[in-house]
Structure 1
Amino acid sequence: MRSDTLSYAGAEEPHFLEACTLCSKQLGHNKDIFMYRGNTPFCSQECRQEQIDNDEARERRWKVSSKKSKESSKKSATVQTGTLVASN
């Protein structure tokens, strides 16, 4: 087993800095690595920017979906008012 490869339950996983997260291009040992959100490596500024754009689009869709869900639940919630009379 190579020293830069992790082994877990018999399966070899590449080190997280070996390949671009988006395009899977191998990252060179003497080349720049572009990081995003802590430990997510990319081979170029373009790949990193594409991931940023994808994440922002996903967040916008989630916010719209969440807002529609809240509006829908407000419309479907009905309040019943009245008087309850109990006798013995």
Structure 2
Amino acid sequence: MSGYYYYDGQADQYEAHYLDACSLCRKSLRDSDIFMYRGNTPFCSKECRQEQMEMDEAREKNWKSGRSLRKSDAQNSTPNKSVRTGTVAVA
């Protein structure tokens, strides 16, 4: 067997180790430099790592903008309620 493998406790059940292939392009990492991101995510090159970082940043930006839109929508809408503003004088 080539690459890194671990035994999962089942008879004849070996699985590839997470450092066997690039997380983005799936290129083999055997006998090459490994570029890590967010602790345990391996990449074959700085370019693959950078692409993943940009995708994560865009996803996070979309998530945050969607979240802020939902908050502002919730604040601006009052379902099944009527809101009246003004001054009330009682004599």
State the Cα distance separating 1:12 from its structure 2 match. Answer: 4.3
Structure 1 window deviating more from structure 2 (10-19 vs 64-73): it is 10-19
Counterparts of 1:36 and 1:74, CA distance in 2:
38
- Contact 1:6–1:15 under 8 Å retained in 2: no
Are 1:26 and 2:31 matched, yes or no? no
* Corresponding pairs, count: 80
- Tell me the residue number matched to 2:89: none
Contact 2:21 2:29 in 1 (8 A): yes
Normalising by structure 1, what TM-score? 0.75
TM-score (norm 2): 0.73
Unaligned runs of 5+ in 1: 82-88
Percentage of pairs with the same residue: 47
Residues 25-80 of structure 1 show CA distances to partners (whole Å, capped at 9, x for unaligned) of 11023x21000000000000000000000000000000100000000000113576
RMSD after superposition: 2.6
1:84 aligns to what? none
On the 8 A contact 2:21/2:43 being kept in 1, the answer is yes
